[in-house]
Structure 1
Amino acid sequence: MQTVGVRELKNKLSEYLRRVRLGERVLVTDRGEVVAEFLPPGQGPGDPSVPAGLQSLNKRGLLTLGAPAGTDLYPALPRKQGERRRSVAQLLDEERGSR
């Protein structure tokens, strides 16, 4: 683990980023107080919404976490012309009624 002051980090940013890329952890200090920590991707505390057990498996390469849900990843499917909107309950009733 390397410790570096803000001024030196600013002057040698490329060098410290190269170290982080190689797996080294860099602590940034301002007047002797640690104010930031640079870690290689995937070595941080992770997403708080993901259980710790899954994060651990992901770090060990045994699991790949999916992307968060969003409208960009999962766009709405277009409705057929003239199709009316129905609730999930209505769709289930129709499906179960046809059995």
Structure 2
Amino acid sequence: MNSEHFDVEYVEAAKAPALDACGDENLLCNYPGPGFLRLRWAEWCGLARDCKGNWLELPDAAQQRAAHKVRVAIVQGAAMAPVYVVDALRVDPPALAV
């Protein structure tokens, strides 16, 4: 690429994508819940990268929880389940704003 014809505006626009519902403003939480897998930190770290991640839990008015992220892992075939890392710091989901 010739540096004399470098389009700076194009690079700056591509560098910062717009935030969406899964953006960084949502906190990654670690708490026990119904249906959560209970793993130790070493077990979580030992999972293959393509078998773990996080997903966005949407706001839940019944439990008064705001949107937040939780860890997930693929278990038994292609099923995904939320994960509670038992020896990591517990972080409860934020409360809904009134």
Query: Which TM-score tier does this pair reach, normalised by the shorter chain?
Result: under 0.3
TM-score by length of 1: 0.28
Q: Which has the higher strand share?
A: 2
Q: Which has the higher helix share?
A: 1
TM-score by length of 2: 0.28
Q: Which has the higher contact order (CA 8 A, sep 6+)?
A: 2
